[in-house]
Homo-oligomer: A and B are copies of this chain.
Amino acid sequence: MGRSVTRSLTVDALAARLGARVVGDGSLVIRGVANLESAGLGDLSFCVDTKHRAAAVASAASVMILREEDVAVNSCTRIVHPHPHSAFAKALDALFPADPVVAGISPTADVDASALTASARVDALASIGARTSIGAGSHIHPHVSIGADVVIGSDCVIYSGARIYPGVRLGDRCIVHSGAVIGSDGFGFQPSAQGWQKVAQVGGVVIGNDVEIGANTAIDRGAIEDTIIGNGVKIDNLVQIAHNCRIGDHTAIAGCAGLAGSSVVGARCMIGGAAMVVGHLSICDDVVISGGSLVASSITAPGRYTSVFPITEHRTWMKIAAGLRRSGK
């Protein structure tokens, strides 16, 4: 019993979109999508590779996307594609098409008279500041706050309750999830006789095209220069990007990770969940940081890096920890 699609397609129609070959009944109508294990009558599923062959053999899916070498695993209707997961992602876009964005400003939104939002959709109770420009086809959900002098490109989706401080710039086709905050002050203070003296944060945030920013993630504005997020960067939920960070194109940062101030991360890196990067260091292109690791010095060679204590039963841990403590004496 899969998830019902919002637009039914025949297998032949879908395969034509994917440029893929059909084995079996191409006139069958796809009515749902599901994992191999839970798929049933009318459902489309997919078999990524050899690891999933047993599940594919047992699956009750009506249609399956799979590789040429796996074509015999099941006698259902098959769509043969060299990259089944990627083809399945494209299938989802066809079976769950996004509603077209109808431009218009809700009467309960608070939009400054000088804002440019002509071809955008602005939902109820959103707030948009002076001189801010929202590109064509962008959709601002309810309760979004956008400050003054912001530039948002075309075809962006800003989900409810996201906050964009003044002067931030986003490219085209960006997705910002609920509760994300972009452009808050960096954590900049100088010691003084009266305690911490705030250092005004006068930089901005510049975000490229095709960037996705997860729920409740925070991206601070730069101290003087801009915080920069490259094209195609994907940031998960509850991630902290401090002031002056620069993140290269197509880097992905998983949930709960944090980048301290002035971290520079290269292109095509993968920062694992809850990984932390200490400030004022740089990570070169094509580096993978394991989840939960703390990067405390610059990394200059591609590869995978790790700094995680191995998990054990608590009793065993106590022995290991005691040994480590002795080694420090």
Contacts and interface: CB of A to CB of B under 8 A. Distances in A.
Interface of A: 2-3, 33-35, 38, 83, 85-86, 88-90, 92-93, 96, 106, 108, 110, 123-125, 127, 141-143, 145, 147, 159-161, 163, 165, 175, 177-179, 181, 184-185, 187, 189-192, 194-200, 202-203, 210, 212, 214-218, 220, 224-225, 231-232, 234, 236-238, 240, 242, 249-250, 252, 254-256, 258, 260, 273-274, 276, 278, 288, 290-297, 303-314, 316-317, 319-321, 323-325, 327-329
B143 A184 contact: no
Interface of chain A, main secondary structure: loop
Given A127-B142, A234-B187, A202 B273 contact: no
Contacts of A312: 305-307, 325, 328
17 contacts: A33-B202, A85-B190, A86-B192, A86-B197, A89-B200, A143-B143, A143-B161, A177-B185, A179-B216, A216-B216, A238-B240, A238-B258, A293-B311, A305-B313, A305-B314, A307-B317, A320-B325
Nearest to A45: B224
Contacts of A254: 187, 260
Contacts of A217: 216
Contacts of A163: 143, 159-161, 178-179, 215
Contacts of A308: 294, 296, 307, 309, 317, 321
Contact of A195 (B232, B314, B316, B328): B232
Contacts of A145: 141-143, 160-161, 178
Nearest to A129: B142
B295 A306 contact: no
Contacts of A178: 145, 163, 165, 181, 184
Contacts of A184: 159, 177-178, 214-215, 237
A35 to B, nearest CB: 6
